[in-house]
Amino acid sequence: MNMMRTAMLIAALTALFMAVGYLVGGQSGMLIALAIAAAMNVFSYWNADRMVLSMYGAREVDERTAPQYYGIVRDLAARAGLPMPRVYIIDSPQPNAFATGRNPQNAAVAASAGLLQTLSAEEVAGVMAHELAHVKNHDTLTMTITATIAGAVSMLANFAFFFGGHRDERSPLGAFGAIAAALLAPIAAMLVQMAVSRTREYSADRLGAQISGNPRALASALSKIAGSAAHVPNPAAEANPATAHLFIINPLSGQRMDNLFSTHPATENRIAALMELDRTQRSQPSSSAGRVGLPGGFGNRRTAAPASPRRGPWG
C-alpha cells in the first residue's frame, strides 16, 4: 500500500510538472526544464551520498574506532539481509540520524554524536534499524527523484515569474497562467514532496521495528529525538534545509508550522503506530526472541514506554 501511494504521489508531481510547463512555455519550455532536471538527477544519483555526508562533516568509523555502534549496525544489516553499509558519525549534539546512497550496495548510515550519547543501546538499535529500512526500501532514491521533479517545477515557476506573461502559442494562458504557475506550482510541488516523505517514514518505522524486533525502543527513541531536536540547533541542517527529509526526525529548529507543512508525520502518530505494533507482537508467543543482540558500551539505560500519544489531523 505504501509503495502504491508513493507511486501515485510521484505521478501527481510529474503531472503537475507537465501542466506548469504547458502554462509557461508549452512543450518546448517543458522539455528544456526536463533536460536540465534530468542532468541534475544523473549527477545526484551518483554523488548525492557523498555530497550529503560532506555537508554534515560526517566521519566514517569502523569496528576499531566505534565497536558498539558499528556492531549494532552490522547485526541489524545481517538481520535485514542487507550488505554492510558504510557507517558514519556526525559531530552534532542534536540526536538524529539518516541514511543515504543510491542502492543497498552503495548505502551509508549516519548517527549524530548526540544520538549515541543520549539514547540507550536498544533505542540506538531501533533508530539504525529504521535507517536500514529506508535502504532496503530504496527510499533515498525515491526521494531524489521526487526532489528533482519538484525542483524542475520550481524552475519553471521562476522562469514564468521573470520571463512569462506573453499570450502566444507557447503560453496558452498568457500573463495569468505565468503568475498562477509562479505562485502555486512551488507550493503544490512542496506538498506532494512532503507527502512522499511522510509515507516512507511510516513504512520505515514498521519495517525497522520488525528488523530490530523492538517497536517500543524505536517509539521511545522518536520521543526523545523529537523533544531534543526542537531545542538543540543543527546549523548544518539549517544551512541545507532541502536535506531535512533524510533525517529520522525533522532537524530544523524553530519551524513549528502546521503538520500540513512538515516533512515528517506527526511524531505522536508514529509512536501510536509503533506501540500498536508492540502490543501485537507481545500478544504472540516468543515475541521477544527475535530482538537484535546489543553490544555493550551505551550504558544500561532501559527503554521506557513513551508518553501516551495524541493523534494529529494530518499524520
Give CA–CA dist 68/62, Å, rounded.
10
C-alpha grid cell for residue 284?
A: 504472540
C-alpha grid cell for residue 44?
A: 545526484
Q: Tell me if 138 is assigned to a ligand binding site.
A: no
Question: How many other CB atoms are there within 10 angstroms of residue 157's CB atom?
Answer: 26
Residue type (1 letter), 235: P
Q: Tell me if 134 is assigned to a ligand binding site.
A: yes
Nearest to 202 by CA among 277, 255, 295: 277
- Are the beta carbons of 180 and 249 closer than 8 angstroms? no
Choice among 63, 131, 238, 268 that is catalytic: 131
CA distances from 274 to 206, 279, 281, 283, 309 (A): 7, 9, 10, 14, 11
- Are the beta carbons of 17 and 156 closer than 8 angstroms? yes
Q: Tell me if 130 is assigned to a ligand binding site.
A: yes
Torsion of CA 233, 234, 238, 242, to 10 degrees: -130
Residues near 127 by Cβ (< 8 Å), separated by ≥ 6?
97, 111, 115, 119, 208, 218, 221, 225, 248
Give CA–CA dist 83/90, Å, rounded.
22
268 in catalytic set? no
Q: How far is CA 233 from the centre of its chain?
A: 18
C-alpha grid cell for residue 222?
A: 522518536
Question: How many other CB atoms are there within 10 angstroms of residue 4's CB atom?
Answer: 9
Q: How far is CA 45 from the centre of its chain?
A: 16
Torsion of CA 244, 245, 246, 248, to 10 degrees: 100
Give CA–CA dist 24/173, Å, rounded.
8
Binding residues: 130, 134, 201
Looking at the annotation, which residues are catalytic? 131
Binding residues for Zn(2+): 130, 134, 201
